[in-house]
Amino acid sequence: MSLRDFVKSRGNPESSFFVIASSCKTAWQKKELSLWLIVSQF
């Protein structure tokens, strides 16, 4: 299932995008430090 199909199945594209963006931002904040540590090793 593509992201576009997922958004369509959710009904409201704007609210779906907001939810996806929020979850991505939260995940990024949690992994930002560990990701930076991994990148800094190279």
Domain parsing of the chain, residue ranges: 13-40
Better-predicted residue by pLDDT, 33 or 20: 20
Q: What is the mean pLDDT of residues 7-19?
A: 67
Nearest to 7 by CA among 20, 18, 16, 21: 16
Asked if 7 and 17 touch (Cβ cutoff 8 Å), the reply is yes
- The reported pTM is 0.35
* 29 Rama class: left (phi>0) / alpha (psi -120 to 50) / beta: alpha
Radius of gyration (C-alpha) of the chain in whole angstroms:
14
Q: What is the mean pLDDT of residues 10-33?
A: 73
Q: 35 falls in which pLDDT band (50, 70, 90)?
A: confident
The answer to whether residue 1 scores a pLDDT higher than 60 is no
